Amino acid sequence: MTRPILYSFRRCPYAMRARLSIAASGLQVELREILLRDKAAAFLAASPKGTVPVVVNGDQVIEESLDVMEWALGQSDPENLLYAGSQARELILRCEAEFKGHLDRFKYAVRYEDVDPETERKLASTYLLELNQRLDGQAYLFGDRIGMADIGIAPFVRQFANTDRAWFDGQDWPDLIRWLDGFIDSDRFQSIMTKYPKWEEGDPVTLFPAPPPE
């Protein structure tokens, strides 16, 4: 059987949400773990822009994480993660447009000129305060069950929180903290964070999700 190939990097939040969606869909792919500082030639041949995740499915190449999510869940969505429709997609897009840039400038301030990390953290927090308000009285971003917005956004909130977890936990967003901790501690998240060695041409195939033990 020829399976789709997923080029991934364990710690990348974009790749995390792709793996979460693929795992939830019930699809199985060939996982190729990439080191971003030493990218495999086959990966760059498939996607010259050199960022993960990338799915290669025959002649089809999917190079954006949101597209990978919709590709996987569009084929199979047994948990109905797509239940919030365009509203969930819009909240994810706003995470990328309004939050991720400030997150990067806060976490990696030395890479940018004339950036004040505290200002960037404050600007990023505006979006997080909105998420906290949305989570008031409900378990997930669009109600009482997990959806695409939760798995599409939580990896980035985790990245932000881990930059200074003591500060994050001291902020007035208790529902956001509850939601994030629930996500991090979940079997769903832990199952997609297995460590794999860097993929090399000729390596045995690694299936994701891994098949259950016999």
Interval 12-53: pLDDT, tens = 999 999 999 999 999 999 999 999 999 999 999 999 999 999
- Measured CA to CA, the distance from residue 74 to residue 82 in angstroms comes to 8
pLDDT at 2: 86
What is the β-pairing status of strands 54-57 and 5-8? Answer: antiparallel
Interval 53-96: pLDDT, tens = 999 999 999 999 999 999 999 999 999 999 999 999 999 999 99
Please compute the mean of the pLDDT values over residues 184-207 and round it to a whole number: 97
For residue 19, the one-letter residue type is R
User: Percent of the chain beyond pLDDT 90?
Assistant: 93
Confidence label for 1 from pLDDT (cuts 50, 70 and 90) = low
pLDDT at 84: 98
pLDDT at 68: 98
pLDDT at 214: 67
Confidence label for 100 from pLDDT (cuts 50, 70 and 90) = very high
What is the β-pairing status of strands 29-33 and 54-57? Answer: unpaired
The number of residues in the chain equals 214
Q: Which residue, among 99, 15, 107, has the nearest Cα to 62 in the 3D structure?
A: 15
pLDDT at 154: 98
Token representation of residue 141: 């971003």
Q: Which residue, among 178, 164, 180, 151, has the nearest Cα to 80 in the 3D structure?
A: 151
Please compute the mean of the pLDDT values over residues 116-138 and round it to a whole number: 97
- Whether cis (ω within 30° of 0) applies to the bond prior to 48 is no
Model confidence at 213: pLDDT above 80: no
- Measured CA to CA, the distance from residue 122 to residue 120 in angstroms comes to 5
Domains of the chain are 5-79+190-208 (3.40.30.10), 85-188 (1.20.1050.10)
Token representation of residue 113: 């000129």
